[in-house]
Amino acid sequence: MKKLTFAALSLAVLLYAGNVFAQHEHSGSGRAMGQGMGSDMDHSMAHRSMGSSNSSGTHGNPNTNGTGQPTVNDILQKNPAIGDKITTLTGAATASDACTGFRNLGQCVAAAHVAKNLDGGNFYCLRQAMTGTAVPTGTTCPATTGTMSLGKAIRSLYPQADASAESKKGNAEAKQDLKGSGLKS
């Protein structure tokens, strides 16, 4: 009976300790979201300066995305030049509206460039495929499932296009725009 009690107690302590260590690893590692994800441009575009659009902040600071970095809306408010570029590319009323749902500003700008570059490209269809964000009333897009990288969204929506080349081109143009606006890329 003592062995069974000791085994149960040991298992409980082990499970609890594992849970504590798992939480500690994720709580403050100081690494930017997306670090170590490889060379895929859809994931590696300068998370530090591009922020997140989906979070109003945590840890008592409404101007950060929980990683201590500014949100997309904060960046757009402080840098109207990139916002103007986004509204020009997308035709949206505001850059903040256009970038709703994107994890970072680089994704939004890259999708805007791809939509502008593709014959018959629609920014809102790309945004929906990439983020799951609804399109404006009156906009019709082919059905997509889940959320996709820029390259997969291009393949899904525009099968006639060279998705790899278009994705690289859009990401390069986004990087240049962000750099030209004084943002790190």
pLDDT in tens, the chain (185 residues): 666 555 555 555 555 545 444 444 444 433 333 333 333 333 333 333 344 444 333 334 444 556 777 888 889 999 999 999 999 999 999 999 999 999 999 999 999 999 999 999 999 999 999 999 999 999 999 998 889 999 999 999 999 999 999 999 999 999 999 998 887 65
Taking the C-alpha atoms of residue 166 and residue 151, their distance in angstroms, rounded to an integer, is: 8
The first and second tokens of residue 126, run together, are 């790309």
Determine if the pTM surpasses 0.95.
no
Query: What is the per-residue pLDDT for 65?
Result: 55
For 15, 116, 132, 150, 163, the CA distances from 168, given in Å and listed in that order, are: 45, 14, 22, 9, 8
Which parts of the chain are beta strand (E)?
none
Query: What is the per-residue pLDDT for 135?
Result: 94
Residue 101 DSSP code: T
Query: What is the per-residue pLDDT for 2?
Result: 62
Query: What is the per-residue pLDDT for 140?
Result: 94
The first and second tokens of residue 57, run together, are 């902040």
For 20, 117, 128, 155, 156, the CA distances from 150, given in Å and listed in that order, are: 36, 14, 11, 9, 10
The first and second tokens of residue 167, run together, are 């994705």
Query: What is the per-residue pLDDT for 114?
Result: 98
Where do the domains of the chain lie?
39-180
Cα angle for residues 128, 62, 147 (degrees, 5° grid): 15
Query: What is the per-residue pLDDT for 39?
Result: 34
Query: What is the per-residue pLDDT for 145?
Result: 84
The first and second tokens of residue 100, run together, are 């709703």
Taking the C-alpha atoms of residue 80 and residue 19, their distance in angstroms, rounded to an integer, is: 44
Residue 108 in contact with residue 99, Cβ under 8 Å?
yes
3-state secondary structure of 52: coil
